[in-house]
Amino acid sequence: MMDESPVVLRASNLHKLFALGETSVAALRGVDIAIERGDFAALSGPSGSGKSTLLNLLGLLEPPDKGGLWLDGQMVDHAATAVLDQLRRRRLGFVFQSFNLVPVLSARENVELPLLMTSMSSRERRERAENLLDAVGLADRMGHRPKQLSGGQQQRVAVARALVNTPLLVLADEPTASLDSQTAAQLLDLMQSLNQRLGIAFLFATHDARVMERAQKLFTLSDGRILA
């Protein structure tokens, strides 16, 4: 029996165009990238280089105009919407710069959100959310709403939410950008620990040198192309 492929996500010759009036702008111009199980990787590049666009395509939030995309060995670049929704819920986690927490929900309820579309019982959902909040150091903040938490604590809730479905890959878009140096370092320590302990791959789109220094793999994007 063959070993399971180490590649979690692979993109080949990805292209993406955006209309700008009567013309179009090429955001991505033939990107090749592969993320393996357990990777702690960073995607760097100046503003306008295509980082967010690439992350949206890798996260199955937008389709490419050209090229191939495989998630866990399955070709997904033009899969049906229902298939993409299911794959995002089961295989991917997301962490955003702006946290994207629901303000009227508690920390625990925010972490539980991705589980609501599963067959998991309410008791199982609650237990999993509480275990993850404990793992990210927020056992005493489970009932707090986002406005009652610091920026660093909110981002920890977002990390717990991203991990609640035990994904193969977490995509993080500038997760440290709004955090002070100490809080950013603590968050990176946490994500590195989870990466090493659980084997979940992380891919960061970032300008932050602190993130790039910790990355095992560094992809540099410029004018829609991977340089290194």
Over residues 42-67, the mean pLDDT reads: 91
The per-residue pLDDT for 64 is 93
DSSP 213: H
Enter the pTM of the model. Answer: 0.89
Encode 36-71: b = buried (16+ Cβ within 10 Å), e = exposed: bebbbbbbbbeeebbbebbbbbbbbeebbbebebbb
Which secondary structure element, helix H or strand E, spans residue 44, and what is its range?
Answer: strand 40-44
Q: Which amino acid is at 176?
A: T
Q: For residue 2, is pLDDT > 60?
A: no
Tell me the percentage of the chain whose pLDDT exceeds 90: 60
Q: Which pLDDT band, with edges at 50, 70 and 90, does 22 fall under?
A: confident
Q: Which amino acid is at 174?
A: E
Domains of the chain and CATH, by start? 7-226 (3.40.50.300)
Rounded CA-CA distance 26/184 in Å is 33
Cβ–Cβ < 8 Å for 179, 149: no
DSSP 172: E
Q: Which pLDDT band, with edges at 50, 70 and 90, does 4 fall under?
A: low
Q: Which pLDDT band, with edges at 50, 70 and 90, does 12 fall under?
A: very high
The helices-and-strands tally (H runs, E runs) of the chain is: 7, 10
The per-residue pLDDT for 228 is 61
The per-residue pLDDT for 3 is 47
The per-residue pLDDT for 46 is 86
The per-residue pLDDT for 128 is 93
pLDDT in tens, 169-209: 999 998 888 788 888 888 899 889 989 988 899 999 998 89
Cβ–Cβ < 8 Å for 187, 179: yes
Residue bearing the bigger pLDDT, 179 or 141: 141
Cβ–Cβ < 8 Å for 145, 106: yes
Q: For residue 29, is pLDDT > 70?
A: yes
Bridge partners of 40? 202
Which residues have C-beta within 8 Å of that of residue 208, sequence separation ≥ 6? 174, 176, 177, 184
Sheet holding 23-36, edge to edge: 23-36, 7-20, 66-71, 74-75
Exposure on the CB side of residue 69, measured as CA atoms within 13 A: 24
Q: Give the CA angle between residues 124, 127, 132 to the nearest 5°.
A: 125
pLDDT in tens, 58-109: 999 999 999 999 999 999 988 899 999 889 888 999 998 888 999 999 999 9
